[in-house]
């Protein structure tokens, strides 16, 4: 299996760090290889936990700033400048701060995190990300009593990002989470993949990844994290509120108005491979279902 091959090329420091992270979450060392993805093989799929190839992860992308076709981000983002880069943390907090990418990499050690990405379009990949919990970063600031949500903002630079010259979305790309969702240990700041620095098309130098939500919640090339009182309006909610809600938890029981969400196609298996069943919360229910106790997830889609 590809995963075993990959573990051989993972730098030891990454693994050591991963182990300590898993300990903190209460996992034993024996669960190391797959602890972050649910071990589910629903019979007709070959192996839904197999890592997607580096090539597929880096050439089949959604990143509308660089075009709306899957191959566009790879083609059009190679010369995108990611240095210098600063992230501003602001809004309803005691002291707003700006952090350079260098400060972030020095302060927070990235570790390997294998998580499944499920796009709202009905395909999925399993990706060996490098990253750290967003809560590590957010716990450095003190939200005011008004703060209820966090809003993420991607970079706005139409000279470098030609897609921003077209009103396909309201630029800059924005997303949002409730504070408890943002503070959940699975919510990840991504800095790399396959043991390497993050490619531009995947959101360099820094993007968010929320394993139990549809891919579009995971904003790329982040420049701002803002604590706010009211539920933020994401770019996709602006574009089509009927189709894209604030929560966007992966949910096989709630269809997109134009298609079913019950199954998904695993990228890399070829177009004839059978689709596999989509799992509630993308398979991370044990970890995150308690965030939504008592909520009607059909209404709060
Ligand atoms: N800034 C920005 N972030 C974005 C997008 C985008 O168009 N712009 N697309 C989203 C969608 S729909 C998906 S599925 C994932 C894809 O991430 P990947 O290319 O790393 O697989 O990024 C999300 N983040
Ligand atoms: Mo997506």
How do residues 60-92 score in pLDDT, each as one tens digit? 999 999 999 999 999 999 999 999 999 999 999
Which pLDDT score, from 0 to 100, does residue 37 have? 55
Task: Report yes or no on 4 lying in a domain.
Answer: no
- Residue at 1 is within a domain: no
Q: 63 CB under 6 A from ligand 1?
A: yes
Q: Is residue 5 part of a domain?
A: no
User: Region 282-295: what's the mean pLDDT?
Assistant: 98
Instruction: Calculate the average pLDDT of the chain.
Output: 88
E strand residue ranges, 93-185 = 97-100, 111-118, 123-133, 149-154, 174-178
Domain membership flag for residue 122: yes
Q: Which helix (H) or strand (E) holds 5?
A: helix 2-9
Is position 6 within any domain? no
Pairing of strands 188-193, 123-133: antiparallel
Taking 90 as the threshold, does the pLDDT of residue 21 lie above it?
no
Residue 165 domain boundaries: 12-292
pTM value is 0.87
pLDDT tens digits for range 209-259? 999 999 999 999 999 999 999 999 999 999 999 999 999 999 999 999 999
From the CA of 209, how far away is ligand 1's center (Å)?
10
- Evaluate: CB of 248 within 6 angstroms of ligand 1: no
Encoded tokens for 75: 């083609």
Question: Does ligand 1 have an atom closer than 6 angstroms to the CB of 220?
Answer: yes
Residue 82 resides in a domain: yes
| CATH code, 218 | 3.90.420.10
289 in ligand 1 pocket by Cβ < 6 Å? Answer: no
Which stretch, 21-25, 47-51, 291-295, has highest mean pLDDT? 291-295
Question: Which ligand is closest to the CA of 190, given by its number?
Answer: 1
Number of helices (H) and strands (E), helices first, in the chain? Answer: 9, 12
- Confirm whether 151 is domain-assigned: yes
Domain total of the chain: 1
Burial bucket for residue 142 (CB in 10 Å: 0-12, 13-18, 19+): exposed
Whether 22 shows a pLDDT value over 90: the answer reads no
- Residue 47: inside a domain, yes or no? yes
Question: Could you count the other beta carbons within 10 Å of the beta carbon of residue 133?
Answer: 22
In ligand 1, which atom is closest to the CA atom of 203? 20
pLDDT tens for each residue of 99-140: 999 999 999 999 999 999 999 999 999 999 999 999 999 999
Tell me how far the alpha carbon of residue 189 lies from the centroid of ligand 1, in angstroms: 14
């Amino acid at each position: 299996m590809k995963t075993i091959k990959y573990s051989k090329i993972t730098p030891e420091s990454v693994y050591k760090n991963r182990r300590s992270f898993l300990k903190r979450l209460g996992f034993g060392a024996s669960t190391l290889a797959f602890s972050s993805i649910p071990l589910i093989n629903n019979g007709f799929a070959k192996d839904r936990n197999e890592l997607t190839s580096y090539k597929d992860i880096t050439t089949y992308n959604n990143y509308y700033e660089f075009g709306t076709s899957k191959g566009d981000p790879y083609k059009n983002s190679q010369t995108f400048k990611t240095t210098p880069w600063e992230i501003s943390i602001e809004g309803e907090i005691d002291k707003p701060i700006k952090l350079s990418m260098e400060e972030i990499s020095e302060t927070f050690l990235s570790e390997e995190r294998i998580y499944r990405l499920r796009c709202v379009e009905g395909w999925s990949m399993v990706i060996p990300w490098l990253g750290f919990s967003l809560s590590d970063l957010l716990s450095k600031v003190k939200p005011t009593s008004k703060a209820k949500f966090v809003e993420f903002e991607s970079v706005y630079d139409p000279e470098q990002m030609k897609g921003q010259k077209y009103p396909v979305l309201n630029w800059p790309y924005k997303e949002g989470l409730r504070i408890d969702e943002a503070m959940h240990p699975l919510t990840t700041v991504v800095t790399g993949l396959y043991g390497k620095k993050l490619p531009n098309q995947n959101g360099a130098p820094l993007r968010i990844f929320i394993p139990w939500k549809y891919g579009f919640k995971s904003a790329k090339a982040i420049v701002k994290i803002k604590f706010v009182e009211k539920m933020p309006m994401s770019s996709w909610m602006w574009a089509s509120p009927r189709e894209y809600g604030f929560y966007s938890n992966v949910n096989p029981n709630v269809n997109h108005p134009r298609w079913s969400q019950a199954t998904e196609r695993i990228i890399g298996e070829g177009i004839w491979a059978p689709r596999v069943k989509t799992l509630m919360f993308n398979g991370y229910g044990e970890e995150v279902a308690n965030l939504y106790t008592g909520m009607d997830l059909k209404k709060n889609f």
